[in-house]
Amino acid sequence: QKEVEQDPGPLSVPEGAIVSLNCTYSNSAFQYFMWYRQYSRKGPELLMYTYSSGNKEDGRFTAQVDKSSKYISLFIRDSQPSDSATYLCAMSAGAGGTSYGKLTFGQGTILTVHP
Amino acid sequence: DTGVSQDPRHKITKRGQNVTFRCDPISEHNRLYWYRQTLGQGPEFLTYFQNEAQLEKSRLLSDRFSAERPKGSFSTLEIQRTEQGDSAMYLCASSPRHYEQYFGPGTRLTVT
């Protein structure tokens, strides 16, 4: 079983829809949670990061972390065709954790927003 | 552009040859990471430098792989005696804090 599980999709939605992307994880040492966006044949682009449980909002993007359920989500409001990409969740342990200093990624979810 | 840069962007090599990739991090970042990504998968951690010290290496980094970061600036990743299974995108990232990693465009390696 992988440490981080992410539904690969693909996910197709109409422009303006609310998109929900999710990851589950098994390593209770993870304390930092990130979302990256990756366009085809490009490097991942950091969208948001959160520490421990809670919500964080940045424009049309909202990240949620539920450590008790080992579940994280990214919501995209008013989705646009330019949001079409692969979305990767990533996690890291805190200082002293065995995976401190590296990110463990999910498989990525392919999102297409059609006009 | 002051982001992370990688060179070359694409490399095609024959099996058994050696290849070397370069990464130039964001100048004020003291942490540098290498990852490998295959089609349809998320990046997998290979190794991590803080300044010039290599602090962690993945079990994925076999004896044929070596990474250096002389003087704590740019880094190189060398693969010796390449195999077809080494074909992947090799990504470099730099960060001011371990969880805030910024990636370069990657080097796509094809081993024929």
A45-57 pLDDT, tens digit each = 999 999 888 899 9
Residues of chain B neighbouring A34 (CB-CB closer than 8 A): 99, 101
| pLDDT value at A96 more than 90 | no
The 10 Å CB-count burial string (b at 16+, else e) for B85-99 is: ebbbbbbbbbbeebb
Q: Which of residues 60-89 of B touch A (CB under 8 A)?
A: none
Verify whether the Cβ–Cβ distance A46 to B43 is below 8 Å.
no
Query: Residue A88: enclosing H or E segment and its boundaries?
Result: strand A85-93
- The pLDDT assigned to A41 comes to 87
Interface of A with B in 9-38 (CB under 8 A): 32, 34, 36
Mutate to test the interface with B, among A30, A36, A102 (most CBs of B within 10 A): A102
Q: What is the pLDDT averaged over residues A102-110?
A: 95
Nearest to A101 by CA among B30, B20, B106, B104: B30
Percent of chain A with pLDDT over 90: 81
pLDDT band, residue A110 (cuts 50/70/90): very high
